[in-house]
Chain A
Amino acid sequence: MAQSRSRDLDKLLLRHGHLVGPNFEPGPDLRDDLREYARVLVVGAGGLGCELLKDLALSGFRNLEVIDMDRIEVSNLNRQFLFRLGDVGKPKAEVAAKRVMERVAGVNIVPHFCRIEDKELDFYNDFSIIVLGLDSIEARSYINSVACGFLEYDSDDNPREETIKPMVDGGTEGFKGHARVIVPGVTPCFECTIWLFPPQVKFPLCTLAETPRTAAHCIEYAHLIKWDEVHSGKTFDPDNPEHMQWVYSEAVKRAELFGIPGVTYSLTQGVVKNIIPAIASTNAIISAACALETLKIASACSKTLSNYLTYNGVEGLHTKVTEFVKDKDCLVCGPGVLMEMAASVTLGEFITLLEDHPKLLLSRASVTHRGKNLYMQAPPVLEEMTRSNLDLPLFDLMDKVPKDVVHVTGTTSKSDKKTSSLRKLRVVFKGVDGVSDMDTAGGA
């Protein structure tokens, strides 16, 4: 009998098991469905992304897409195994997709060389599962808000099964990492447990200016204070080696002045660019855990991780599973912020309300309802097309439904840092049940 390429995976997908997920139906159909219908998006084509693409391609998935805005750098080569020295400067997503397709027959990977914010929301809705291999809290938060944005609740505030967009998220730093499964509406989303990612502590400016004590203080002085003093108007570019060299030599001067040891070029780069140490092995561990969970979610071939795995290899080897609980009032994955208003409120007035709402504080908001753009701040063409809606009542724009979910995107300021965020609102029009009844009656 000819051997199948799926020899090992078939044991899991074709045979009955006991420790499996709900509705597990083993058989060739399951294997074929996984190949044909499961569509997985990998966000990030870096250390985790390269591993994830390989792992997923060898776990029965054939429809993969990958999105990443970065280009390949020399310092990626110690772990991002799909890239070679000759690839430096090329888009990561494109090279990663090509390399995996070259080696794993039958797999199709569509690369997207762009920012995650550049994609329409519909783009994300197209996938069965979204896997995150990112190193930024902001990017995680954005994708999380997008995926949770698709979630709808029924009238009893239970999540509607068919609107759930599962996510699998991985992260690493040095010898440490985490993998988690996010099933919006069921398990905590990224925002429910945002406290797991405490904000980075910054040095007080007065320390930098007046009482520097460490090498890092001297570097940050040169980077944050001296640069602007000397180069009025010219912004510092961390990727420009001349800029970095300037900061380094200024930091050395300052360190000598105060008798502080330890300023090196490498440390300067580390402090200025906030470089997170990264190695192949940790990325391999975390990505493998994520890929395995993705396979389980898609096939139910095994019970899943519930819901947060941490790995620490610094002192011995520690893995731990924690079952976090979701925040039922979460603004992102919860049923949504309730906004009650009169049917006469115009879209323009509604946008102003968002700025002042204590739970939102959202400025420059764009509004969509059931995939239809009601008002868009950008690009200019769309802004112009939707501008006339601002003077119309929101109730009319929402096809006169008494209550529904509206998505808004805009900017929120958190400790003087602006971040783009997406929020879900449950808009209820006061007293319109009666109104619409009368309308219907009148029209009959």
Chain B
Amino acid sequence: MAEPKTKYDRQLRIWGEQGQAALEKASICLLNCGPTGSETLKNLVLGGIGSITVIDGSKVEEGDLGNNFMVDESSVGQSKARSVCAFLQELNDAVKAKFIEEYPEALIETNPSFFSQFTLVIATQLVEDSMVKLDKICREANIMLIFARSYGLTGFVRISVKEHAVIESKPDHFLDDLRLNNPWPELRSFAEAIDLNVPDPVVHKHTPYVVILVKMADEWAKNHGGSLPSTREEKKEFKELIRARMRALDEDNYKEAMEASFKVFAPCGISSNLQRIINDSCADVDSNSADFWVMVAALKEFIEGTGEAPLEGSIPDMTSSTELYVTLQKIYQAKAEADFLVIQRHVRNILNRIGRDSDCISKTMIKSFCKNARKLTICRYRPLEDEFNSPVQPELQKYLTDEDYSSIAVGFYILLRAVDRFAANYNSFPGQFEGEMDEDISRLKTIAVGLLGDSGCNGSTLTEDLINDMCRYGAAELHAVAAFIGGIASQEVIKLITKQFVPMSGTFIFNGVDHKSQLLSL
């Protein structure tokens, strides 16, 4: 129990104390604790998830010892859920771990309300029929759901949530918000007060590039009837003008200005992504709207007024004297604060209008929303039944005919569904038992081709090699594949619970043959 801060140091650097707090509050339900489920949960328990409930009705068999690290010889014949749960508890005593010895399929059939107590359900190794039923239950109850399956050298991970809105999407590369081509009055007057022709060479080489670019963009606009460089030649010319101002080769600030000159050419206003979000019908809020959409509605009013998103307020490091840099930082922060106050006022007004307490969204939350306004992300997932009954046909066809990369992966997608139909018809998976291989291959082929036909696709794109190997797998749950699938699933769970970073979209199909895995948006 000692020093949780030190213990979690390496992950706190990724999702911070807020993310950690969200994990520690979450309660997770795992269905089936074979290697896929156990490994998924292991990664979450190590990170300090709040509580886990392991559900599995089976007993540990000899064969489980070969693919599941969380059972051992002493547990053969005993409840698998108990055994896995005990090992997981050993990993982290801060986690509340319990188990229920029951088959998930039975629980889905007989006790659907059981699932509503959890933050998120991880359903592993379920067949199609149970998945569809569970999906309906969880959507109804607004419980996050993620499916994971390992099958031979393939498998999949699929999130199923009505809507997941991310404020802190934390993208790796995102253009900073400097407003070089659209400076507000305070930034403009700060730049105006600085002389680029200052005689002192030390001052000259410590003028931050933000100032250089604001002034030079201004100068350009004056000489070009108010417009900024737009053609390739003009952009080149603009860069040359910057270069001409360099007095010595070691003036890093001017080099940075040339490299950053594209920020002057960047279009003003908001991205098409953000435009889509503020145009979303959910932004017409009422008393039932989520806090996120109330803030989007406020953002929409702000953008309609100013044409821009609220300023982020942070600036990247750049060559500069300390004094100019710190002053510049304060100018950006002040503008961000002012923008935030406007949005906050909009939020309070909207809350009033829809009949909610005007202070029910915290200042910290609104602030974070403003800081990340340009990076907001909405993820929506189709109900599983819709995808199974009517996959997006052109997408499916596109993947099927892409010989180069995704043909194996999409083949696996079809075959993963085909093996469940096979199991429903013949009470075992193709190749699960010795001796009926040839018959199983032809049966699986018939089912797979039929499945493709139902979706309006041509079955001939499915290769004999793939069908053969799918039968060879015989529903084996290989440890390395399960660990991979479990790793992916736990990663997505972390993103869903912390509400940070962007969860995957579509269905992830693992291709363990050559690792050309694929996300299918069907």
Whether B476 pairs with A11 at a CB distance below 8 angstroms is yes
> Contacts A214-B317, A288-B481 hold; do A75 and B10 have CB atoms under 8 A apart?
yes
Query: Does A4 lie at the interface of the complex (its beta carbon under 8 Å from any beta carbon of B)?
Result: yes
CB-contact partner of B47 in A78, A174, A275, A305, under 8 A: A78
Whether A281 pairs with B317 at a CB distance below 8 angstroms is no
Query: Does B321 lie at the interface of the complex (its beta carbon under 8 Å from any beta carbon of A)?
Result: yes
Whether B476 pairs with A12 at a CB distance below 8 angstroms is yes
Give, as a whole number of angstroms, the nearest-CB distance from A57 to chain B: 8
Give, as a whole number of angstroms, the nearest-CB distance from B212 to chain A: 16
Distance, CA A314 to CA B490, complexed state (A): 13
Determine the chain B residues whose CB is within 8 A of the CB of A306 once the complex forms.
Answer: 514
Query: Does B244 lie at the interface of the complex (its beta carbon under 8 Å from any beta carbon of A)?
Result: no
Query: Does A414 lie at the interface of the complex (its beta carbon under 8 Å from any beta carbon of B)?
Result: no
Give, as a whole number of angstroms, the nearest-CB distance from A191 to chain B: 23
Whether B6 pairs with A105 at a CB distance below 8 angstroms is no
Determine the chain A residues whose CB is within 8 A of the CB of B39 once the complex forms.
Answer: 284
Whether A8 pairs with B2 at a CB distance below 8 angstroms is no
Distance, CA A18 to CA B478, complexed state (A): 18
Tell me which residues from 1 to 43 in chain B have a Cβ below 8 Å from any Cβ of chain A.
1-3, 6-14, 35, 39, 42-43
Which residue of chain A lies nearest to B330 when distances are taken between CB atoms in the complex?
A: A259
Whether B152 pairs with A59 at a CB distance below 8 angstroms is no
Whether A78 pairs with B326 at a CB distance below 8 angstroms is no
Contact-size category for A: 35 or more
Whether B464 pairs with A18 at a CB distance below 8 angstroms is yes
Determine the chain A residues whose CB is within 8 A of the CB of B447 once the complex forms.
Answer: none
Determine the chain A residues whose CB is within 8 A of the CB of B35 once the complex forms.
Answer: 58
How many cross-chain pairs have Cβ atoms below 8 Å apart between A and B? 249
Whether A4 pairs with B206 at a CB distance below 8 angstroms is no
Query: Does B291 lie at the interface of the complex (its beta carbon under 8 Å from any beta carbon of A)?
Result: no
Which residue of chain B lies nearest to A284 when distances are taken between CB atoms in the complex?
A: B487
Query: Does A371 lie at the interface of the complex (its beta carbon under 8 Å from any beta carbon of B)?
Result: no
> Contacts A213-B320, A275-B13 hold; do A285 and B513 have CB atoms under 8 A apart?
no
Determine the chain B residues whose CB is within 8 A of the CB of A237 once the complex forms.
Answer: none
Determine the chain B residues whose CB is within 8 A of the CB of A179 once the complex forms.
Answer: 515
Query: Does A332 lie at the interface of the complex (its beta carbon under 8 Å from any beta carbon of B)?
Result: no
Determine the chain B residues whose CB is within 8 A of the CB of A312 once the complex forms.
Answer: 172
> Contacts A105-B65, A211-B206, A302-B512 hold; do A288 and B495 have CB atoms under 8 A apart?
no
Whether A5 pairs with B65 at a CB distance below 8 angstroms is yes
Distance, CA A175 to CA B39, complexed state (A): 17
Determine the chain A residues whose CB is within 8 A of the CB of B488 once the complex forms.
Answer: 281, 285, 313, 317
Interface pick from A79-87, A157-165, A340-348: A79-87
Tell me which residues from 241 to 263 in chain A have a Cβ below 8 Å from any Cβ of chain B.
258-260
Determine the chain A residues whose CB is within 8 A of the CB of B109 once the complex forms.
Answer: none
> Contacts A288-B484, A302-B153 hold; do A279 and B11 have CB atoms under 8 A apart?
yes
Query: Does B101 lie at the interface of the complex (its beta carbon under 8 Å from any beta carbon of A)?
Result: no
> Contacts A4-B62, A55-B479 hold; do A314 and B46 have CB atoms under 8 A apart?
no
Query: Does A411 lie at the interface of the complex (its beta carbon under 8 Å from any beta carbon of B)?
Result: no
Whether B8 pairs with A78 at a CB distance below 8 angstroms is yes
Query: Does B491 lie at the interface of the complex (its beta carbon under 8 Å from any beta carbon of A)?
Result: yes
Query: Does A442 lie at the interface of the complex (its beta carbon under 8 Å from any beta carbon of B)?
Result: no
Whether B46 pairs with A81 at a CB distance below 8 angstroms is yes
Which residue of chain B lies nearest to A315 when distances are taken between CB atoms in the complex?
A: B502
Tell me which residues from 69 to 100 in chain A have a Cβ below 8 Å from any Cβ of chain B.
74-75, 77-79, 81, 84-85
Query: Does A319 lie at the interface of the complex (its beta carbon under 8 Å from any beta carbon of B)?
Result: yes
Interface pick from B213-221, B281-289, B503-511: B503-511
- B residues engaging A (CB < 8 A)? 1-3, 6-14, 35, 39, 42-44, 46-48, 61-63, 65-69, 72-73, 90-91, 152-153, 169-172, 206, 317-322, 325-326, 408, 431, 437, 464-466, 468-469, 472-474, 476-484, 486-488, 490-492, 494-495, 501-505, 508, 512-517, 519
- A residues engaging B (CB < 8 A)? 2-9, 11-12, 15-19, 51, 54-55, 58-59, 74-75, 77-79, 81, 84-85, 102-105, 174-175, 179, 207, 211-214, 258-260, 266, 269-270, 275-289, 291-292, 295, 302-306, 309, 312-317, 319, 321
12 contacts between A and B (CB under 8 A): A8-B478, A18-B464, A58-B67, A85-B1, A104-B69, A105-B73, A207-B319, A213-B322, A214-B317, A270-B13, A285-B491, A317-B504
Which 5 residue pairs across A and B have the least CB separation, nearest first? A7-B63, A284-B487, A285-B487, A317-B504, A288-B484
With A15-B474, A59-B478, A305-B514 given, can you name 13 additional A-B contacts, CB distance below 8 Å?
A7-B67, A12-B476, A102-B72, A103-B72, A104-B65, A213-B325, A260-B322, A266-B9, A279-B14, A291-B483, A303-B513, A305-B515, A317-B503
